[in-house]
Amino acid sequence: MTNAQHIGIAACSAEGAALCYKTICTEGAQYLGEHAHPEISMHTPSLADYNECIYRGDWASVADLMLLSADKLAQIGADFVICPDNTIHQAMSFFEGRSPLEWLHIAEVVAVEAARVGYRRVGLTGTRWLVESDVYPEKLAGHGVECIRPNKTEAEALNHIIMDELVRGVFRPESVTYFQQVFDRMKNEGCEAVILGCTEIPLIMNDQNSSLPTLDSTRLLARAALRRATQAINI
């Protein structure tokens, strides 16, 4: 047993949530010792329930599903919540002040890291709902970082790869090639790094196969949760 805080994960898609969970478990040893990690609990509504709301643009109902997770996680003792899904973060304003637990915001975590490294212009990739939203531009602007979005054609193609392949655990070489082409275009527009703004993208893209340094939202969120959970015992 450790004295670290209990991390709650409000999951949406399985692949991104699994990578976030695994990162917390494997990297917890850096803070707590060999094989150790904070207590973790996860609640996952059906992805179909989320998608039904997202496809009709009903973000208030997305917020209700997120609150359902928060309520259940609070009941079993979680101290705070993370959500390893970028897209549904745009629903957070709909439950402001109603959550029983504090949430770490994935875009804020990424924006802090971008500013820390010194990036001033970064590309954004993710679902079409995410890249068309203000979730990342607002958080990045608060740290003096400019955001370059995919164009409409790119956004639709990336959305297809994410929703029809990655969330289903399907990884195609041609999809990697397409991401690389988008990254190359962003690099030519002066981007210094690219945000992997869908928690499944790190399953196929990383610093080794990208022309730009990557900001891995999944692992950055997991590491922020580890720092938060262990802060009180590492001061």
- Residue 233 clears pLDDT 80, i.e. is over it: no
> Binning pLDDT at 50, 70 and 90, where does residue 216 land?
very high
Fold adopted by 107-216:
Rossmann fold (3.40.50)
Q: State the DSSP code for 211.
A: S
What rounded mean pLDDT belongs to the chain?
A: 96
pLDDT in the model for residue 235 = 39
Helices marked H in the chain — which ranges?
14-27, 29-32, 47-55, 59-75, 106-117, 128-132, 135-141, 152-164, 173-188, 217-230
pLDDT in the model for residue 3 = 86
For 108-139, write each residue's pLDDT tens digit. Answer: 999 999 999 999 999 999 999 999 999 999 99
> Binning pLDDT at 50, 70 and 90, where does residue 183 land?
very high
Fold adopted by 7-105+220-233:
Rossmann fold (3.40.50)
Q: What is the mean pLDDT of residues 3-16?
A: 96
Q: What is the mean pLDDT of residues 6-32?
A: 97
**Distance from C-alpha of 137 to C-alpha of 109, rounded to nearest angstrom:** 13
What residue spans in the chain does CATH classification 3.40.50.1860 cover? 7-105+220-233, 107-216
pTM above threshold 0.85: yes
CA neighbours closer than 13 Å in the CB half-sphere of residue 235: 6
